Structure 1
């Protein structure tokens, strides 16, 4: 318990947030272990205090309960520890789930400028070209942003390379998803033969705005793209993403190898949001896999995903609490015996 308290103190005074979080986690674990170890010692004092304050009001029954609990402090401490651990886990996960939803919602409010997000179900499935055309024909939309993910290998001037998905979109993507830039202008990344990189890759490879990267497109040609912006990776959306224009991908990848759109982002005209939302629903009604979400729908979807995860964990914790309750029953039975 002393080690746990010391670790908690270090967490409160740590300068680095990540270091503080790590120490805080270690402190909580050590504190929990400490309470379990000294539980039998605590049981006697706690029971006597409760007896003086509460149990004596119940007369002979209260006195019997006090004596039964004090007869075997180790058994009483173990029973209390089992309940403590189960309830602590439930409370901890509830806080974590609530924090996740709150953080994601705040990130969406800060970063997402699009009114509508159109996707083909879950898992990043591509959109049907007919659906894309139908969405682009909806009245009341200021713009529709198409986006694709194409595999590519990016090599920096110092030889550092990274293989992954290059996100290709139209220039309006910079309005639909606001990304903070460390340097450069993100709008310029959607120019001819230009791109952006994330701050982590830029730091690792020593890349600066104005450098030229070698991009080998999977199934296509190799391009020389100029770095127009470096985006901050201190975000939960598109972390580490590298952006370029759709026309750049179509220039270096054969038409039959260009991937389909993975999502559409749309912005409604002023005062036409409700009408555009209804029109989008109608336009994609023929394809049941397509989802049209406004920001409220998207936040609810995030909450539902977190809720499903927590429900699974709560089910497992319920079993642990049942075991703890059986321990209480066992303690009472042994006391009677």
Structure 2
């Protein structure tokens, strides 16, 4: 199991959730718990879903339109809103008709229509007010994307643009395999490369400095991809890191010092070591869930997509 930043955060909050999401979940497993964990892992709230939808529109549609030789110009705001509205409608319809507890499909077969909502799984479904608010925030985020001159300059100046779901594979100091999936990597010929992380939050919270620092280290250690420019290599301290808060129309810039890189590396290595100590090379079936730490807060459990599956696993 490779280390990732998201897995490390889950591990800190609840080791059982980490176990279900990263070790148990498997769509081809004969064990019904593992198959169910796979589908429950896809559950998300309306708030998180609308952020994922914005990410999808930017990564799969908008950014590629900047590099499409058949287009005279990128798709623009109205074109991106049209795609967003289609995905919004199709995914809501799929989520309303399907629950993680009952489906048995290959996610890839559903395509962009796929979505599972916690509000449908554990309640009566999202309210119309919540859905109206979600769409308004999608409109706002995409409008700010197109209206933010700084974001547009990053994209226009780039020699090569790489978007998610491109995965960076790298190794930690102890040899542990690790992965990272930046939202956008903008390779530049005459200035520093840039990594951008899109955020769709209505409030000012914790910044994405550590997450972006992990991406910078991952890029510096990662393997060469065939569509990366030649001679792109850069130290983590030489990469511009940008957190783009699309709802607030704000951008935060970070540059790592050598101390920042050392702290980030120590965080990754320490987190991976804790995970390795728990699993100790064991397979899913040999791990005693009783050895795993549960969340300290009931609020964490109430917001967890595995809240109905967890009691079956923790005996």
Same fold? TM cut 0.5: no
Give 1 or 2: higher strand fraction.
1
Normalising by structure 1, we get a TM-score of 0.23
Normalising by structure 2, we get a TM-score of 0.24
From the CA coordinates, give the structure whose radius of gyration is larger. Answer: 1
